[in-house]
Amino acid sequence: MICNLKKYRLLAELTQEELAEKVGVRRETIIRLETGRYNPSLELAIKISRAVNTPVETIFSFEE
């Protein structure tokens, strides 16, 4: 999985902690997502995409 979360989180001017609070997870989950060590559930991916106002497929993609 390719994760562009950090880029779009920064564009949305959110800290990891602020994003975590908005989507209902711990900051550690955001860290793991940004470093590619965690694959989000569909529900979490959608919450994140709404929080940073970016399409989910722009933030998360899979290599073919």
* DSSP collapsed to 3 states, the chain: CEECHHHHHHHCCCCHHHHHHHHCCCHHHHHHHHCCCCCCCHHHHHHHHHHCCCCHHHHEECCC
At 34 the pLDDT is 96
The CA distance from 64 to 11, in Å, is 27
pTM of the full structure:
0.92
Burial (CB count within 10 angstroms: exposed 0-12, middle 13-18, buried 19+), residue 53:
exposed
pLDDT digits (tens, 9 = 90+) for 13-51: 999 999 999 999 999 999 999 999 999 999 999 999 999
